[in-house]
Amino acid sequence: MVSTTDLPTKECRNSLSARTQPDVVSDLIEKEVFKGFLYGPFKDPPFQKYRVSPIGIAEGKYSGKKRLILDLSSPHNDDKHLSINDLIDKQDCSMSYVRIDDAIDVILKFGRNSWLCKFDISDAFKNCPIVPSQWPLFCIKWEKMYYFYVRLTFGCRSSPKIFDHLSQALCHIAENNYKVNSILHLLDDFLTIDPPDADGERTMAIMMMIFKKLNIPIAKHKTIGPVKCLEYLGIILDSEKMEARLPLNKVDRICEFIKKLCRKKSCTKRELLQLLGHLNFASRVILPGRSFVSYLIGLSTTVNDLHHYVKLDKECRVDLEFWLLFLSSWNGVNMFYSRQFYSSYDMELFTDASSTKGFGGYFKGEWFYSSWPSNIAYPDKTFSMAFLELYPIVVSAILWGSQWTTKRILFWCDNEATVAIVKRAVQNRQIPQTSSQCSTTSNEVPKQLRCNVVLNQAVNELWNSAIANTTRTVYDTGFRKFETFMLLNGFQFSNLPPISEDILIYFIAHCFKILSLQYSTIKLYLCGIRYKYVQGNQNDPLQSAHNTPLIRLDYVLNSVKRLQKPKNHIRLPITFEILEKIVNCLRKGFCSKFTDLMLRTACIVAFYGFLRCGEFTVSKASQFDPHINLCIEDVVFHSDLVVLKLKQSKTDPFRKGINIQLHKLGQLICPYTILLEYIQIRKEFSPTNQTDPLFITIDKKPLERQYFITCIKKVLDICGFNSSHYNGHSFRIGAATSAGKAKIEDHLIKTLGRWTSDSYIRYIRAMKILSKKRLIKKAGFYRPPPSRDGKPVNKPVTPLEKVYREIAILKELDHPNVVRLVEVLDDPDKDNLYMAFELVEKGEVMAVPTEKPLSEDQAWSYFRDVILGIEYLHHQKIIHRDIKPSNLLLGDDGHLKIADFGVSNEFTGTDISLSNTAGTPAFMAPETLREEKENFSGKALDIWAMGITLYCFVFGQVPFKDEFPLALHNKILKDPYKVTDSLTDLIQKMLNKNPDNRITLPQIKLNPWVTKGGTCSLPTEEENCTLVTITEEDIDNVVKHCAKLDTLNASKRIALNDAEISESNIDKKDHTFRIKSKDSNRSFYMQADSENTQHEWMQAICFAKAAGRDGDNSQACVIQ
């Protein structure tokens, strides 16, 4: 790379872009270190002689993505200290790049409908290592710490050439070893082209295999193919239409730039050159524009410096107006022209014009002639001859242009100016504007169709069925709001109101400020407006003329989303345990005998069928439709199961239908038994037709959604639950929760519930997402320096090793007052670690602030749970650091569980000395907020937070409150607090602002308020805690990589229609049950905890059976 490595030591100052963005630089350096591209940090220089080059930040002009750049051309104009790039020979690094025309040539060679595939190498240059002897030349310095690069960097003169050798080698391997038809590359961008009759999938597979074998990372989001249309080198190549065109976002960008300049009288040379760069790029595919660039180039040469101004004269503006016309009308007109120039008789066009007689043309034996149109033939109008000669050429293009596709035509014309226009020169004369009068075609429907009553009814019916009824209701509401808004602001209209992006922005402001609507509702209203305008044969008002989103509108919507606080409605699941209580309450008598039976049946069927409330109820009884809603004929009984047919559902809008199998369980709560009983009573209660509704009320009307939810809420109140936390969806999510408890696999729960997204996950797991980058930053990313005396050095410690050890300990925690960490999953494609905790269904113990604090007895009971949980964590050498009511969850047994270990710390010895702040401001101890940066005790932080939490239990609010964080910190440091006499002693000792004098956990356990004067002692530490131990194997296996769902499904597929599942298959020894195929010797097993009862086993078997309800798409719950 560099001709010599014997350079004097030199440290250059970092660029201004880096110094003004320190957080960005730190994050980017952190990423480089984590990926192994950069070694460091080192307190001292890692080499005896070294060169520190400046670092800077380069930001993508349109993407906004920021990249770390190493300026190896610095220092500049310094004879004593040459830059690294000065030592690299320019001639050796010169190279030629592939052109878009090269790709077009290959497509022309293979023909129409050629297959295209595109690949992009991730971290391009950094896949190439730097030889160790040159590491000292690639040092950087940041925040007084030294680093050095071990991979090629951006900013090095030789990087493109070196990387190009790698790319050429890949192309050589593909073409010669694997017979890939054609492959092109521009550094890290690869394009393969195959003939239409070739197997494009084979090329894609071969290239992916080559990259994988050579361990070269691929950007998956940029890997495309095989397709017939894709973007390569910024140009869209379309082998089906045989054309090249600019992407619409680039067209919009250039148009905006031109319009911006047209509004000015002058612009800087820099702005003009930027525009010329855009136009030069666009002229690759918009060929007529090439003739309108040369004048702009000449104009840019009239001044010297980039900041000098250039006057935009009349000729310049005319050229820019032509460019606007070309961009709007000629993008995509550029076909893949044959490289052969046809000069034969068949490819020649002859035209001529006379100012007095008319014009004519001749092509391939055909001809035309005409006198001038009336708007040109007026005697008082004088047109240039250039214009008159151009006229028949345009007419020829209209008549014969379809025959010119992909061909080069020789124009014969006897006017020099016209020839110049057609070819490449710039016409300096002003060409008159074309007439505004043109032939029009009416979009109005003929009277005969408008009067056709039958067809009009059919069209209205089709429009009504285009969207779901609930969606149409919301759309109608949104459009009425828009009409009202327009009328209030003085707009008059007979059909559809006038509309523009600005009007929509003001409407959003109206919804946000006046109507106080949520972001999601505003989005639906905008969709309703679009639906109405499209229905009225108007353009989509939410898109520009180029079918791109309205950028300003998107920004305003995002602003609404950012300003609004999301409303988190509590929606709890009705689990099997709650279902049992509901059923028992209805058996004892709630309404009439028939109503109670109907509600019991609906609840059990909704639970076991994972039904949405709208799938077995109707919005209004008058709207019942036997073609959509659940009828008696949709229930079919078999010997051991009943099939429930849903004709339409949320995930089946086109009414393909789905059969749900509900199996006979042979227990008290059984969907088969209750449905059989209900159908018999239903027929006795009211004479039935097969198309009558399945569920009816006592007055023989279809079961309405609101009536069902109201009844269930009353039953839940009777059973002692807070009914405001439950709704019609609670049965469905409760089924998912119970299935998760029964060890049914996640992907099977998704199938059972007919979820098309991963939203079901939140019903079966409490998921916390952590950033790997932040964890690494917390753990540190130190690398030992290379050996200076030639001796081998120890292998660097993996940055995540400490983090993984902490997670391994968390996974082993087992205490009734600590939420259990079930699994940790690593998404290799994202910066996320997913921590799946056990689901604690009742949620947080209380919201703060609240007007309904806990009673002192309830606070006493819950606080004792907190004491035991914190004691257990401290025994495991873990400081929580974020104790607060929202991190205390209420379990089914009424006891609290401590959750959220996002900011916890592991320590050794008897305590940890901390110096950094973490946690929730209102619960942070005063020693963490002082200006003097001193270390403080970790255990004392948890004691303080426990005191604040106890205060919240009793008073429903925190003792220190302020809207502004700094003011809040000041109050925590200085303000007194008030408590009742009964808690004064304990809370005062816990909220002692001197951590050295703060009460300890063992002392809290002996406090009279906690023990009720010694009558209710807590367990000793030995009784409460067992030390967790972990092995190296636990650390190695602590994180699992996410498996692809389709792969998981494919490996666990079995036809349950031929499977034998029964209670007799349960093995009491190892707690498994067997799914055995009748026609083979294959067996599959499901493992469970020893605490699972026989009832839970049969429930799990029911879910496993129900998974096979889709016939050929059957899936069994099989776990090896």
Which of 257-261, 472-476, 1105-1109 comes out lowest in average pLDDT?
A: 1105-1109
Please give the pLDDT value at position 451. Answer: 65
CA distance 871 to 1021: 7
pLDDT, tens digit (0-9, with 9 covering 90-100), for 152-210: 888 888 888 888 888 889 999 998 888 888 899 888 889 999 999 888 888 888 999 89
- Strand pairing category for 348-354 and 358-363: antiparallel
Span of 355-359, 375-379, 652-656 with lowest mean pLDDT:
375-379
Give the closest residue to 896 by CA, choosing from 937, 925, 854, 938. 854
Q: How far apart are CA 75 and CA 78, in angstroms?
A: 6
Separation of first and last alpha carbons in the chain: 54
Quickly state the pLDDT bin for 547 (edges 50, 70, 90): confident
Position 871 confidence tier, pLDDT thresholds 50, 70, 90: very high
Average of pLDDT values for 389-395? 86
Average pLDDT over residues 903-914: 56
Task: Name the residue with higher pLDDT: 833 or 32.
Answer: 32
Q: Which residue has the higher pLDDT, 341 or 749?
A: 749
H-run or E-run covering 1095:
helix 1094-1106
The structure tokens listed for 561 are 């989303």
pLDDT of residue 528: 92
Nearest Cα to 154, choosing from 69, 279, 28? 69
Q: Render pLDDT for 695-722 as a digit per residue (tens, 0 to 9).
A: 888 888 899 989 999 999 999 988 888 8
| C-alpha R_g of the chain | 38
Amino acid at 225: G
Q: In angstroms, rounded to a whole number, what is the distance separating the alpha carbons of residues 869 and 816?
A: 8
User: Angle at CA 212, nearest 5°, toward 211 and 215?
Assistant: 85
Q: Which residue numbers are catalytic?
A: 882
Q: What is the pLDDT of residue 141?
A: 92
Most confident range (mean pLDDT) of 135-149, 385-399, 614-628 is 135-149
Alpha-carbon distances of 724 from 569, 737, 738, 854, 1079, rounded to whole Å: 10, 19, 21, 19, 51
AA letter at 604: I
**In sequence order, what are the beta bridge partners of 512?**
none
Q: Which amino acid is at 1052?
A: K
Q: What is the pTM assigned to this prediction?
A: 0.38
Give the separation between CA 934 and CA 917, rounded to whole angstroms. Answer: 11
Q: What single-letter amino acid sits at 659?
A: N
Which CATH number is correct for 10-238, 3.40.980.10, 3.30.70.1520, 3.30.420.340, 3.30.70.270?
3.30.70.270
Q: How far is CA 497 from CA 323, 383, 504, 538, in A?
A: 33, 43, 11, 11
d(CA 497, CA 486): 7
Q: Coil, strand or helix: which one is 935?
A: coil
Query: Does position 505 have pLDDT exceeding 90, yes or no?
Result: yes
Q: Which amino acid is at 78?
A: D
Cα-Cα-Cα-Cα torsion 200, 206, 209, 213, nearest 10 degrees, comes to -150
Residue 384 one-letter amino acid = S
CA distances from 774 to 28, 832, 902 (A): 12, 10, 11
DSSP 439-455: -----PPPHHHHT-HHH
Q: List phi, psi (to 5°) of 518.
A: -80, 160
Q: What is the DSSP letter of 181?
A: S
State the pLDDT confidence band at 1002, using cuts at 50, 70 and 90. Answer: very high
Lowest mean pLDDT among 292-301, 318-327, 902-911, 915-924: 902-911
pLDDT at 774 over 90: no
Q: DSSP string spanning 529-580?
A: HHHHHHHTT---TTB-TTS-B-HHHHHHHHHHHHHSPP---------HHHHH
Prior bond to 75 cis, omega within 30? yes
**pLDDT for the residue 931:** 63
**Angle, helix 705-718 to helix 593-608, in steps of 10 degrees:** 100
Element (H, E) at 348: strand 348-354
Longest dimension (CA), the chain: 120
**Dihedral sign of CA atoms 691, 695, 696, 698 in order:** positive
- Tell me, which fold does domain 246-329 have in CATH? Alpha-Beta Plaits (3.30.70)
717: its two tokens: 């109140």
Q: Please give the structure tokens belonging to residue 212.
A: 């994988």
Per-residue confidence at 81, pLDDT binned at 50, 70, 90?
confident
**Whether residue 86 has pLDDT greater than 50:** yes
State residue 925's pLDDT score.
84
Residue of higher predicted confidence among 910 and 129: 129
Query: Using CA atoms, how far apart are residues 682 and 680, in angstroms rounded to an integer?
Result: 5
Say yes or no to pLDDT of 517 above 60: yes
Q: Return the structure tokens found at 437.
A: 């009068």
pLDDT of residue 1060: 43
Amino acid at 857: D
Q: Where are the alpha helices (DSSP H) in 284-410?
A: 294-300, 314-329, 385-400
Cα four-point dihedral sign 972, 973, 975, 979: positive
Q: Which CATH superfamily is domain 451-563 in?
A: Tyrosine recombinase, N-terminal domain (1.10.150.130)
State the pLDDT confidence band at 768, using cuts at 50, 70 and 90.
low
**pLDDT, tens digit, for every residue of 933-972?**
567 778 888 999 999 999 888 888 888 765 444 454 455 4
The two domains 10-238 and 246-329 share their CATH topology (first three levels equal): yes
pLDDT digits (tens, 9 = 90+) for 197-245: 888 888 888 999 898 888 888 888 888 889 999 988 888 888 888 888 8
Q: Say which residue, 302 or 341, is predicted with more confidence.
A: 302
* Contact of 504 with 550, CB cutoff 8 Å: yes
- Length of the chain counted residue by residue: 1120
**Rounded mean pLDDT, 5-19:** 84
Asked whether the beta carbons of 132 and 104 are under 8 A apart, the reply is no
Average pLDDT, stretch 743-750?
Answer: 68
What local confidence, expressed as pLDDT, does residue 1104 receive? 47
List the helix and strand counts (H, then E) for the chain: 37, 37
Weakest mean pLDDT among 202-211, 645-654, 774-783, 887-896: 774-783
Q: Where are the alpha helices (DSSP H) in 142-241?
A: 159-172, 200-213
Pairing outcome for strands 832-837 and 766-771: antiparallel
* pLDDT of 442 higher than 80: no
The Cα 376–Cα 383 span in angstroms is 8
Burial class (CB in 10 A: 0-12, 13-18, 19+), 963: exposed
pLDDT for res 568: 57
pLDDT for the residue 1093: 38
Residue 278 DSSP SS3: helix
- How far apart CA 677 and CA 326 sit, in angstroms, is 75
**Domain residue extents for the chain:** 10-238, 246-329, 345-422, 451-563, 576-741, 856-1028, 1052-1113
- Predicted pLDDT at 441: 37
What is the mean predicted confidence (pLDDT) over 629-644? 89
Secondary-structure class of domain 856-1028 per CATH: mainly alpha
Neighbours of 139 (CB within 10 A): 24
pLDDT of residue 525: 93
For residues 241 and 539, give the distance between their C-alpha atoms in angstroms, rounded to a whole number.
Answer: 25
Model confidence at 828, pLDDT cuts 50, 70, 90, reads low
Residue-wise pLDDT tens digits, 641-695: 899 888 877 767 666 788 888 888 888 889 999 999 998 888 888 777 888 888 8
The position carrying tokens 């828009």 is: 482
Alpha carbon 1039 to chain centroid, angstroms: 23
Mean pLDDT of 440-464: 68
Per-residue pLDDT, averaged over 577-585, amounts to 90
Asked if the peptide bond before residue 786 counts as cis, ω within 30 degrees of 0, the response is: no
What kind of fold does domain 576-741 have according to CATH? hpI Integrase; Chain A (1.10.443)
Which residue in this structure is represented by tokens 């005998």?
A: 593
Pick 1080 or 41 by higher pLDDT: 41
Please provide residue 19's backbone torsions phi and psi, each rounded to the nearest 5 degrees.
-65, -30
pLDDT value, residue 504: 94
Q: What is the mean pLDDT of the chain?
A: 77
- The reported pLDDT for the residue numbered 302 is 86
Contact status, residue 733 vs residue 1105, Cβ threshold 8 Å: no
User: Angle 769-771-774 (CA atoms, 0-180°, nearest 5)?
Assistant: 145
Q: Which residue has the higher pLDDT, 1105 or 892?
A: 892
Among the listed residues 890, 895, 767, the one whose alpha carbon sits nearest the alpha carbon of residue 840 = 890
Detail the DSSP E strand segments found in 593-688: 635-637, 641-646, 658-663
DSSP 969-989: HHHHHH------HHHHHHHHH
User: In the chain, what percentage of residues exceed pLDDT 90?
Assistant: 11
